[in-house]
Amino acid sequence: MFHAAVGPCVRKRSKPASVSVPRHAVKFKEVRLYLVERKMGSSRRSFLSQLARSKGFIVDDILSDDITHVVSEDSRASSLWAWLKGCGLKNLSKMQVLHISWFTESMRVGMPAPVENRHVIQDTPPALQEGLAPTPMALISQYACKRRTSTDNKNKILTDAFEVLAENYKFSDNKSSCLVFSRAASVLKSLPWTVQSIEATQGLPCLREHTKAVMEEILQFGHSFEVERTLSSERYQTLKLFTSVFGVGPKTAEKWYHRGLRSFRDILAEPSIQLNRMQQSGFLYYGDISRVVTKAEAQALGNIIDEAVRLITSDAVTALTGGFRRGKEYGHDVDFIVTTHEVGKEEFVLRHIIDCFKKQGIVLYCDYQASTFHMSKLPCQSFEAMDYYAKCFLILRLEASQVDGGLTCDEGDNRGWRAVRVDLVSPPMDRYAFALLGWTGSTQFDRDLRRFARFERKMTLDNHTLYDTTKGEFLTARSEEDIFAHLGLEYIEPWQRNA
Ligand code: UTP
Ligand code: MN
């Protein structure tokens, strides 16, 4: 019985393939597939070939220059490409070399799926394969302040995922894991190309096992299970919601979560919770200040500040900083530096601006903090310490008529104004360059500037000073360029600091 059953099957297989394969109508003449047998195995390969032919695809058993799409189950780029290059093809550069996921999707929709970055198995740069140094990869520094990072993020899918995990670690007060994911995201943001395979990241700094595992999931399946799990967890969602309120940090959010509170309604209905003034305003203006601020709105606020300053003195200097100075289109707030050429008058000007705003009736919230700056407190020892300058955290009322192009409002909102978060900081002019560098950010860029200064130069940098511990002296700087020069770093323009 056994032999009888096997016999015909074996004979059939020995016949030429063309005889046993039923002919199917070709629907996609411009596409010619070749399935790589390695890892796939011969039986799965012939099954998939038949499947594709039945759906109207041309599948060749032999790799030739006629092939348009090479499909591989094995996504290890270096060995696949080494093999492809050894096949003596002339047309290889024109072929699409794709992961099986493209094939599976094409079968599902019954036609060639559009090729996306995640499908492509990229050739590894030759220098990397041969282990040669220095390679362009080796030139990518572990320090964000030695990389140029524009707002054009070519790896948003990966960096968004990393940032979810970083934030979740922040919620658990796990600083080191938070930093691992923030750093990995920052490195990928600086790349002028899109990561399409794990091999392509060989030699990149700051990518640990855990970040690579997440990356591999996303490259293979289009999403990471760990990130999905985090995003759908009640704890993450609740802490994310609570910390979106102005004045609520991770500690307070955690405390509320721990007490079983899950929504804004729960918080506002809980009699034992005493919201501070900042949080009260946070809830009051939540709709407006949780919405992004546009560049046009930031410019309008700049005009309002300049006008208020003009009334007081001709000696003042105002500068837009934060994300908008880095060329971002949107922000969560608008940050300005206000100072005077004459050292010592800056705090007075800041207070006058606020008075002027109050007279105009545009101050919805104001937390003024007087300067505690004194050179004797410096250099600062903590990386993340707040600075000592006079500053003011505000919520201002911005009229639509003041904004070029008007306000972008929700439908049905015809108030004609919105609330905006604004930060003003007032360093003395001789500290201006340090304050500008610190307030321009990004946070990761600043963090790495300080880390670089400390570990590579034995210097201490903060928003006030640069201190050379070897020489035991403070270094003066009139511009950001001066600070980079003291640190022996190439100057990085503000729009290249989006690390
Ligand atoms: P932001 O939190 O405003 O960030 O702080 P951002 O880059 O402008 O981003 P969005 O668009 O508003 O969300 C701006 C910079 O100011 C520094 C921060 O470290 C950041 O680099 N900063 C903020 C200080 O140095 N001191 C402070 O007290 C507050
Ligand atoms: Mn900002």
CATH of the domain at 172: 1.10.150.110
Q: Which residue from 236, 235, 133, 147 is spatially nearest to 183, judged by alpha carbons?
A: 147
Q: 67 lies in a domain?
A: yes
Residues assigned a catalytic role: 333, 335, 423
Look at strands 334-340 and 316-320 and give their pairing.
antiparallel
Q: What CATH number is attached to the domain comprising 456?
A: 3.30.460.10
User: Could you give the number of structural domains in the chain?
Assistant: 3
Output phi, psi for 468, to 5 deg.
-95, 110
Residues 309 and 388 grouped into a single domain: yes
149 neighbors 120 (Cβ within 8 angstroms): no
Domain shared by 435 and 302, yes or no:
yes
Query: Which CATH number goes with the domain that contains 77?
Result: 3.40.50.10190
Identify the domain containing residue 22 by its residue range: 16-133
- Which pLDDT score is estimated for 295? 96
Tell me if 153 is assigned to some domain: yes
Domain check: are 338 and 198 in the same one?
no
319 and 462 within one domain:
yes
Ligand 1: which residues within 6 Å by Cβ? 322-323, 328, 331-333, 335, 386-387, 438-439, 441-443, 446, 463
56 and 43 in a common domain: yes
Instruction: For residues 328 and 473, state if they share a domain.
Output: yes
10 lies in some domain? no
Q: Do 87 and 147 have their domain in common? A: no
Same-domain status, 59 and 107:
yes
**Ligand found nearest the CA of 323:** 1
- Type of residue found at 66: D
Are the CB atoms for 58 and 28 separated by under 8 Å? yes
Question: What pLDDT does residue 53 have?
Answer: 96
In a domain, 7, yes or no: no
What is the pTM (predicted TM-score) of this model? 0.75
**Final residue in a domain of this structure, among 102, 133, 164:** 133
Q: Whose CA is nearest to atom 11 of ligand 1?
A: 331
Is the same domain home to 437 and 293?
yes
Residue stretches of the annotated binding site? 333, 335, 423
Instruction: Examine residue 2 and state whether it is found in any structural domain, yes or no.
Output: no
Which residues on neighbouring strands pair with residue 396, listed in sequence order? 363, 420
From 107, 133, 159, the end of a domain falls on: 133
CA 255 to chain centroid, in Å, comes to: 28
* pLDDT tens for each residue of the chain, 499 residues long: 333 333 333 333 444 444 445 678 999 999 999 999 988 989 999 999 999 999 999 999 999 999 999 999 987 888 888 889 888 889 898 899 999 999 999 999 999 998 888 888 988 665 444 444 334 676 899 999 999 999 999 999 999 999 999 999 999 999 999 999 999 999 999 999 999 999 999 999 999 999 999 999 999 999 999 999 999 999 999 999 999 999 999 999 999 999 999 999 999 999 999 999 999 999 999 999 999 999 999 999 999 999 999 999 999 999 999 999 999 999 999 999 999 999 999 999 999 999 999 999 999 999 999 999 987 877 776 656 689 999 999 999 999 999 999 998 778 888 999 999 999 999 999 999 999 999 999 999 999 999 999 999 999 999 999 999 999 999 999 999 999 999 999 999 999 999 9
pLDDT of residue 145: 98
Residue 76: its pLDDT value, please?
82
- Together in a domain, 26 and 154: no
- Could you tell me if residue 215 is inside a domain? yes
One domain for residues 275 and 313:
no
Ligand minimally distant from the alpha carbon of residue 334: 2
Q: How far is the CA of 245 from the centre of ligand 1 (A)?
A: 16
- pLDDT value of residue 129: 46
306 shares its domain with 448: yes
Atom of ligand 1 nearest to the CA of 463: 25
User: Does 472 map to a domain?
Assistant: yes
- 11 domain residue, yes or no: no
Measured over the CA atoms of residue 262, residue 268, residue 274 and residue 280, the dihedral's sign is positive
Residue ending a domain, choose from 133, 162, 181: 133
Q: What is the 3-state secondary structure (H, E, C) of the chain?
A: CHHHHHHHHHHHHHCCHHHHCCCCCCCCCCCEEEECCCCCCHHHHHHHHHHHHHCCCEEECCCCCCCCEEEECCCCHHHHHHHHHCCCCCCHHHCEEEEHHHHHHHHHHCCCCCCCHHHECCCCCHHHHCCCCCCCHHHCCCCHHHCCECCCCCCHHHHHHHHHHHHHHHHCCCHHHHHHHHHHHHHHHCCCCCCCCHHHHCCCCCCCHHHHHHHHHHHHHCCCHHHHHHHHCHHHHHHHHHHCCCCCCHHHHHHHHHCCCCCHHHHHHCCCCCCCHHHHHHHHCHHHHCCCEEHHHHHHHHHHHHHHHHCCCCCEEEEECHHHHCCCCEECCEEEEEEECCCCCHHHHHHHHHHHHHHHCCEEEEEEECCCCCHHHCCCCCCCCCCCCEEEEEEEEEEHHHCCCCCCCCCCCCCCEEEEEEEEEECCHHHHHHHHHHHHCCHHHHHHHHHHHHHHHCEEECCCCEEECCCCEEECCCCHHHHHHHCCCCCCCHHHECC
